[in-house]
Amino acid sequence: MVKAHAILVAGGSGSRFRSSTPKQFQTVLGKPLVVHALERLQLSGSIARVILVLPRDGFDEAKRALAPYLAGEASGVEWAPGGNSRQESMIEGLSRIEPFEGLVAVHDAARPAVPPSLVASVVEAAAVDGGAIAALPVVETLKEATVDLHLARTVPRERLYRAQTPQCFRYDVLARAVKKAVEDRFSGTDEASLVERLPAPIRIVLGSEQNLKVTTLEDLERVEYYLKKGDD
């Protein structure tokens, strides 16, 4: 089985989450979301190494808080302090990986219910094409608005996808994309948006509704449902 090194990004402050506790440290079924995400990466069988990127502010406290949950297979996790943005946090994680002829997967701790089979599928696709992301087709009708919130037009949804993580790339592809982004002072919303600028091929792997991104407190109930239900 093809395996990747993984960067688990958990460095955000969760400013939209309406809670003093960042969303990645919220507890569901007795474990913080970041721990669920970590365990599901490892359950995929496709991850050889995990670098866990935590907020720079309170880094040592976060490590101590998570330590009781990390035993057995999870005990080999490597730690890194994050940056001021998600992209900077990913780059901090990538800096811990020596150049090699292999794959690097990036996953958000805010997606704690990712099916392990999806992780494996993304890694396998990246091994073939050099890059792959999980994504779901857009099913809703899309509307473009004017600046004063009047309807401008209906946007065709054919071939439009909602990007998820994990996103996986050959190390050299991701490293070149990061270097170009830093040089150009470009800030992307995910790894694929950096790699697109090279350009380089990226395969879309059908994602999962279970792989939701926790954004609000209400999302915690959905995460709990999926974790109890089992995987797709």
Whether residue 59 is predicted with pLDDT greater than 60 in this model: the reply is yes
- What was the pLDDT predicted at 231? 73
The pTM score is 0.93
Which of 102, 103, 52 has the alpha carbon at shortest distance from 81?
52
pLDDT digits (tens, 9 = 90+) for 148-197: 999 999 999 999 999 999 999 999 999 999 999 999 999 999 999 999 99
Name the more confident of 50 and 17: 50
Write the burial class of residue 18 (CB in 10 Å: 0-12 exposed, 13-18 middle, 19+ buried): exposed
- Among the ranges 13-17, 75-79, 174-178, which has the highest mean pLDDT value? 174-178
CB 216 within 8 A of CB 17: yes
Q: Report the alpha-carbon distance of residue 127 to residue 119 in Å, rounded.
A: 13
CB 6 within 8 A of CB 107: yes
Average pLDDT over the chain reads: 93
- Please give the DSSP secondary-structure letter assigned to residue 27: E
Write the burial class of residue 71 (CB in 10 Å: 0-12 exposed, 13-18 middle, 19+ buried): exposed
Confidence band, pLDDT 50/70/90 cuts, at residue 23: confident
CB 45 within 8 A of CB 89: no
The domains found in the chain, sorted by start residue, are 4-131+165-229 (3.90.550.10)
Whether residue 63 is predicted with pLDDT greater than 80 in this model: the reply is yes
Confidence band, pLDDT 50/70/90 cuts, at residue 26: very high
| Share above pLDDT 70 across residues of the chain, in percent, rounded to a whole number | 94
- What was the pLDDT predicted at 232? 61
Q: Which two tokens stand for residue 121?
A: 């599928």
pLDDT digits (tens, 9 = 90+) for 211-227: 999 998 899 999 999 99
Confidence band, pLDDT 50/70/90 cuts, at residue 71: confident
- What was the pLDDT predicted at 72? 62
Confidence band, pLDDT 50/70/90 cuts, at residue 17: very low
CB 102 within 8 A of CB 4: yes
